[in-house]
Structure formats: structure tokens, C-alpha cells
Chains A and B, each alone.
Chain A
Amino acid sequence: MDVRVWLLWALTVLVAASSARNPLYGLLLLLAATVVGVACAPANGRRPFLAPLRFAAVAVPFSALFNGLTAHLGEHVLFRLPAWLPLLGGPLTLEGLAYGATSGLALAAIFGGFAALNRVTPVHELVRLAPRAFHEAGVVLSIALTFVPQTARSLTRIRQAQAVRGHRWRGLRDGLPILVPLLVSGLERSMGLAEAMVARGYGSVADRPQPLRLRALLALGLLALLGGWLAWLFWPSGNGIALGAMTLGGGLIGTVLWLAGRAVPRTSYRLRRWTVRDTVGVLGCALTLAVVLLPLPGRGTLVYSPYPRLTPPGFDPLVGLGLLGLALPALWGEAQGDEG
């Protein structure tokens, strides 16, 4: 799928997991995100440093315990901690544990969504999404990402060379003979790279400061944002004006971004075509967003609170089906997910 569709998909997981506090829907979202992450990951894709289900195995009990120990509300008291204990003193309730577990599950579903995004989208496609106005920033990022493997190789070489000299890593102080040569060799390489860039004419284009009017527009946009935010915080009756000012500020910053981007030509050697899979991916997200955001029947089951007395959460099959719209990308599996 197109990387923009993947971004929409991850944002939809975020919105759905934040809105649905029902643990059954939370579990459904976590499973959908995990299945998509596994099914659509290319064979040579990045592996997440922590699998979503493992994250959930830590986050859910931790969150349940933390909330149980600190929120002393609910009718089913399991036991009481002495009142003189700061923060923890008081009854530990089943409801407190359930509320914490629900929050942990929502967090795990969000983590699962972004873990899948990180797994299925190649880094270069994410970098390519940067607006044209961020040309210099994009070059810095490209250099950094290109130099990471070289730096890792340098680190291995330096460690091996120091080991031959009898160096052993016993503590932070032993990092000195490794980290300083790593830094110096990296800076030496950057000097060579800078010379090569200047020799190829990089400075002749990039050494041009931004026009004054664009920067003034940028300052105006920030001023509108700040004014809107202050009004939103401290002027309860001026909500509309506050939101209007913030929208104006965002619009001005967006305009500057667009105007600055026009000065930077970008060449694409291979245009990616929009496919049926992208359309179905967008429709799946739209389905999920519809059941979460629109006042449709069964929407009430999204909200669940175990307080004051623990009751089983409700489940509406139509809402469940709507949330499963997020699992649609898994239908094409690895080969299709890798394509394009």
C-alpha cells in the first residue's frame, strides 16, 4: 500500500484506540494491528524492538497494578494497604485493577498500530513524504540515515582494534577509547563529504537565506497560533474565535511551507500508481472512523467504565465489524504489502 495510506491507517488506530475504552474493542484493535504488522511486513523489513503482544503483556498488568494501588475507588475491595503509606494507602479494588488494565490495553493497541507502521513502511518512503520546503532538513536526514550503517561498521572495527590492544569493556570509562575515535572518524568523513558537496555546487543553491516576507508570514502564523491558544485557555466564551485564530495560524504556516517548497524542484524517476489496494485500505479506515466518530447505533458500547461496580463490557457486532476495517490490509499479505 501507499505510504500515505499506511500513515492514515496508523492514525485511525490511534483515534479508535483513544476513543474506544471498551476492553473487548481494545483487544480487537490490538489483534488487528498485530495481524496486519505480521502479514504485511516485507521479508527484509525492520523488526520492531518489542512485539505488540509482548508490549501488552507488560503494559496491561503494570497499568492495572499501578491504577489499583493508587486509585482507591470501587465496590469490590480485595485488600487494604495501611493508610500511612503515601499514595498507596487505602483499599485495592477490582474496579481499580480493571480500569488500569483497560488503559494499558488502549496503550498497547496504539503501540501495535505504530509498530506495524514502522515494520511495513520503508524508511526512504517515509523520508520522501517530507515537504519540499524541508529540502535541507531532508538532506541532513538522508546523510544521517546513509551514515548509520557506516558508523555501525566503524564502531565494530574500532572495538576490534581496541580489543587487539587488550581493551575490555568494564564500565563507562572504558567507552573513551571507542567513542572518541568513532566521533573523530565520523567528523573526518563529514569533512570529505562537505568538500564533495561544495565541489558539486551544493552551496550555490543552498546558501540562500529565506525571503524576508516568508519569514514575516511565518511569524504572523505563529502569533495567530499563540493568540488562539491563549484565548482557548483563558477565554471560555471565545471558543469560536480561538479556533478560528489557530486555524488561521496553521493555514499561514502551511502557506509558507507551500511557497518555500515551490522554489525547490523535485524530480521523481518512478511514479507510484494508486492501486485498488490503496482504495480498499482507505475505505477500511473510513469504516473504522465512521463507527468511532459518527452517532451510529451501538456507538454507546465504545465507552466503558468499571466504576463504581465492575460489570461486563457490552459488545455490538456492527461496531466490532467496523473496527475490523483496520484488518483489511492483512488480506493481501507480505507479497502485496511489499510491492511498490
Chain B
Amino acid sequence: MRRAISGVIYGLSAAIGVLTFAYPFLLQADRAAQERIAPLATAALVGLSLVALLMELQGQAISAKTVAMLGVLVAVTSVLRFLDVAFPLPGGFSPIFAPIILVGYVFGARFGFLMGAFTLLASALITGGVGPWLPYQMFTAGWVGMTAGWLARLQPLTSNLQSWKLEVGGWRVGLLAGFGFAWGLLYGAILNLYFWPLAVGMGGQGWEAGLGLRETLVRYAAFYVATSLGWDLAGAVGNAALILLLGAPTMRALTRFQRRFHFQML
């Protein structure tokens, strides 16, 4: 029963998140009133589903070990974002996504979501990045970690789970690098959606309600190519390079600690 309710909460939160981000593609014509309150409604929906998801995730008996390890991993990754802010890296490259992906891959989807969401929250607090964009960033970064956890599940397991987890070189790192590249582009494309209806002028890249799915997609693609593709491409290449160069030793260290953390105080 608990597992079923948990699945329902995950599914509903994901559906609300996807439908909220995708509202520019779905809103019908002649909806001037809806158009006006859409930004407020989407902010409230993203905030509430993030609250619900965090409650569900932390409500599943978080042990002291998980709390301590998550806190420290978030601190290490937040320091990397601080370096990114202090010494700007090329384009949209931020060194925080590779650790979120690697941690999600090794520790699973639940831990990965928390890692992504808390990393963005903690680093926003220390770098002065708190703003209306933060819930959207937390939600999307949480998805990055969560999907990395799913990626680990999708792979065929060998008979010995631990030996499989130690086999972290070769094609698995290549796969994760490709995953990091894809999320480098997706993260920007998803986050653009929350301000696209508000921020652009009246050109061929602007959003208008009721254009239809095809035309809205064409306009958004034009907007994305014109404003974000170059920026996000640097982020995608950076993620892939970081995982290719540092992924295998980092995952070995994480896997070793994952096993060491299975201790019990008797």
C-alpha cells in the first residue's frame, strides 16, 4: 500500500511538473484571462508539487547516514557552483550537473532528486541566487538526478550487483557522458519555458496563446536557437567532458562509500 501511494505521488508530481512547464504549448485560444494569471498559477503549481515531492521523499524514514552524506555532497557541489560564479566558465557550463548525475546514478533516483534540488537551493543561498526562478531550477535539477537513477536501473545487471557497480569504466561512462550532454541542452530548454511567454517581444519567436502545438513548437525552436542553443551547447559539452574525464574515479569513490555507509549502530 505504501509503495502504491508513493508511486502515485511520484507520478502525479511528475505529471504536474511536465504539464506546468509545457503550458505554453497547450493553452487554447481566446483565453486572455488565463494568459494573465498563467505565470502566477505555474509558479504556485511548481512550488506545491515540489513541496509534495520533498515531503514524500523525506517522509520515507531518512536515516542519519543519508542526511549526513547528502548534506556533505550538496556542500561539495555547492562549492563548485561558487567557483563557477566567481570565475565564470564558458557559456552555460556549470560543474554542478556532473556530480548530480553521478550521485543519482550510484545512489538511485530518490537520492538523486534530493541531491539535485538541494544543491540548487544551497548554492543559491550561498551565491545570492534566490529568486522566482529557484523552484523551477530545483525541480529541473531534481529531475536530472532522478533520471540518472533510472538510467542505472535500465541497464542489464550482472549477477553480482556490487561487482557491476565497480565496473564503472568504459561504455557506462560514455553513456553517462551522453546523458550529461543531453541534459545540458534539456535543462536550458525546460527552464526557458517558464519565462518565454513573458520575456519576448512580438517577433516570430514570441509566444501567443492558441497558435496550435506545431506553430508554438516552431516558434519556441526559433527562440531557443536564437537565444540559448550556443549557451547550452557549452554546458552540454562541459558536462560530457567532465563525466568522461572524472566520471570513473568519482563513481568508484562514491560506490566505495555507498558500501561503507551500510553500517548499523547496535
Residues of A within 8 A of B (CB): 14, 18, 46-49, 66-67, 70-73, 87, 96, 99-100, 103, 107, 110-111, 114-115, 117-119, 123, 126-127, 133-134, 136-137, 139-148, 150-152, 155, 172-173, 175-176, 179-180, 182-184, 186-187, 189-191, 193-195, 197-199, 202-203, 206-210, 212, 214-216, 218-219, 221-223, 225-226, 229-230, 232-234, 236, 239, 246, 249-250, 253, 256-257, 260, 307
Contact = CB atoms under 8 A, between A and B. Distances in A.
B71 A140 contact: yes
Interface of B: 1-2, 5-6, 8-9, 12-13, 15-16, 19-20, 23, 26-28, 30-31, 33-34, 39, 41, 44-45, 48-49, 51-52, 54-56, 58-65, 67-76, 78-79, 82, 85-86, 114, 118, 121-122, 125-132, 198-206, 222, 225-227, 241-242, 245-246, 249-250, 253-254, 257, 260-261, 263, 265
A183 B67 contact: no
Given A206-B67, A226-B12, A236 B202 contact: no
A85 to B, nearest CB: 12
A203 B265 contact: yes
Given A114-B132, A253-B51, 8 more contacts: A18-B198, A140-B67, A143-B75, A172-B242, A189-B72, A193-B71, A197-B67, A225-B45
A70 B204 contact: yes
29 contacts: A18-B198, A47-B128, A49-B85, A87-B205, A99-B201, A110-B132, A114-B132, A118-B128, A126-B130, A141-B125, A143-B72, A143-B74, A184-B257, A191-B68, A197-B67, A206-B67, A219-B8, A219-B12, A221-B52, A225-B48, A226-B12, A229-B16, A232-B34, A233-B23, A234-B26, A239-B33, A249-B48, A256-B55, A257-B51
B26 to A, nearest CB: 5
Contacts of A230: 19
Contacts of A145: 75, 122, 125-126
A191 B19 CA distance: 40
B75 A144 contact: yes
A73 B75 contact: no
B41 A246 contact: yes
Contacts of B125: 123, 126-127, 141, 145
A234 B64 CA distance: 45
Nearest to A189: B72
Contacts of B62: 136, 206-207
Given A72-B203, A176-B246, A215-B9, A143 B68 contact: yes
A191 B262 CA distance: 11
A236 B204 contact: no
A3 to B, nearest CB: 11
Contacts of B49: 222, 225
A198 B64 CA distance: 6
Contacts of B51: 253, 257
Nearest to A216: B5
Contacts of A14: 132
Contact of A187 (B69, B74, B130): B69
B203 A144 contact: no
Contact of B76 (A117, A183, A256): A183
Contacts of B75: 143-148, 150-151, 186
A100 B132 contact: no
B204 A115 contact: no
A257 B47 CA distance: 13
A229 B49 CA distance: 12
Contacts of B201: 67, 70-71, 96, 99-100, 103
Contacts of B56: 210, 215, 218
Contacts of A232: 34, 41
Contacts of B73: 186-187, 190
A180 B72 contact: no
A210 B60 CA distance: 7
B71 A147 contact: yes
A186 B16 contact: no
B2 A229 contact: no
Nearest to A199: B265
Contact of B64 (A87, A176, A206, A208): A206
A126 B86 CA distance: 23
Nearest to B115: A140
B79 to A, nearest CB: 5
A210 B55 contact: yes
Contact of A194 (B5, B65, B222, B225): B65
Contact of A183 (B74, B82, B250): B250
Nearest to A139: B67
